[in-house]
Amino acid sequence: MKKTYREIYEELGAVPVIDIHTHLIGGKLAARGLHDVMLYHMSVSDLYAAGCPSGGRLTEYPKWPTEEEAHHRIREAIPYLRFVKNTHIAWGMRIILNDLYGWREPITENNWRKLDAMIRERADDRAWRRQVLAKVNIKRSCTEFARRGKGEDDDLLQYSLEWAMFARCQWGEFDTAVYELERCWGRRPESPSPIGKGQRPPPERTIQTLDDVRAAMNHYIASIPCRQLVSTAATLSTEINYRLVTDKEMAEALLRRDRAGERERDIYASYIQEAFLSGLEPHGEEIVYQFALGAEPLPFETGSRLPQRTLSQLAEMLARHPKLRFQCFLASRHGNQSLCTMARELPNLSLAGYWWHNFYPDVIRQVMAERLDMLPVNKQMGFFSDAYCIEWAYAKAILIRKQMAAVLTTKVEQGQHSIRDAIEIARMTLFDAPQRLLNIKPVKEQ
| Final residue before a domain boundary, out of 74, 108, 123 | 123
In a shared domain, residues 389 and 267: yes
Same domain as 163, residue 92: no
Cβ proximity of 287 and 162 under 8 Å: no
**Residue at 342 is within a domain:** yes
3-class state of residue 230 by DSSP:
coil
Secondary structure class of 393 (helix, strand, coil): helix
Give the pLDDT confidence score for residue 445 in this predicted structure. Answer: 62
- Same structural domain for residues 156 and 84? no
The CATH number of the domain where 212 resides is what? 3.20.20.140
2 in a structural domain: no
Final residue in a domain of this structure, among 62, 91, 123: 123
10 inside domain: no
Q: Tell the burial category of 267 from Cβ atoms under 10 Å away from its Cβ (0-12, 13-18, 19+).
A: buried
User: Which regions in the chain score pLDDT beneath 50?
Assistant: none
Is-contact 273 310, C-beta < 8 A? no
Per 3-state DSSP, what percentage of the chain is helix, strand, and coil (rounded to 5)? 50, 10, 40
pLDDT of residue 298: 85
User: What is the predicted pLDDT for the residue at 207?
Assistant: 98
For the stretch 197-230, pLDDT in tens is: 667 899 999 999 999 999 999 999 999 999 999 9
Asked whether residue 114 falls in the same domain as residue 149, the answer is no
Q: Do 201 and 335 fall within a single domain?
A: yes
Beta bridge partners, 291, equal 234, 328
Cα dihedral 3/5/8/12 (nearest 10): -140
Q: Record the pTM.
A: 0.95
Cβ-contact 392, 37 below 8 angstroms: yes
Q: For residue 150, what are the domain limits?
A: 130-437
Q: Quick one: 76 and 135 in the same domain?
A: no
Whether residues 118 and 140 fall in one domain: no
Residue 263 sits in the same domain as residue 388: yes
Instruction: Confirm whether 12 is domain-assigned.
Output: no
The verdict on 109 and 147 lying in the same domain is no
* Inside any domain, residue 381: yes
Query: What's the distance, Cα to Cα, between the start and end of the chain in Å?
Result: 30
Predicted pLDDT at 235 = 95
Within a domain: residue 415? yes
Q: How many domains does the chain have?
A: 2
- Name the residue type at position 329: F
Residues 91 and 152 in one domain: no
Q: Is 196 inside a domain boundary? A: yes
Q: Which residues lie closer than 8 Å to 294 by C-beta, 6 or more apart?
A: 238, 304, 305, 306, 330, 331, 332, 335, 355, 357, 358
| Angstrom distances, CA of residue 95 to CA of 34, 202, 258, 391, 392 | 14, 42, 50, 9, 9
Q: Is residue 150 part of a domain?
A: yes
Q: Which of 89, 123, 157 is the last residue of a domain?
A: 123
Question: How far is 344 from 350, CA to CA, in rounded Å?
Answer: 9
Q: Are residues 102 and 142 in the same domain?
A: no
Largest CA distance in the chain: 67
Asked whether residue 97 falls in the same domain as residue 149, the answer is no
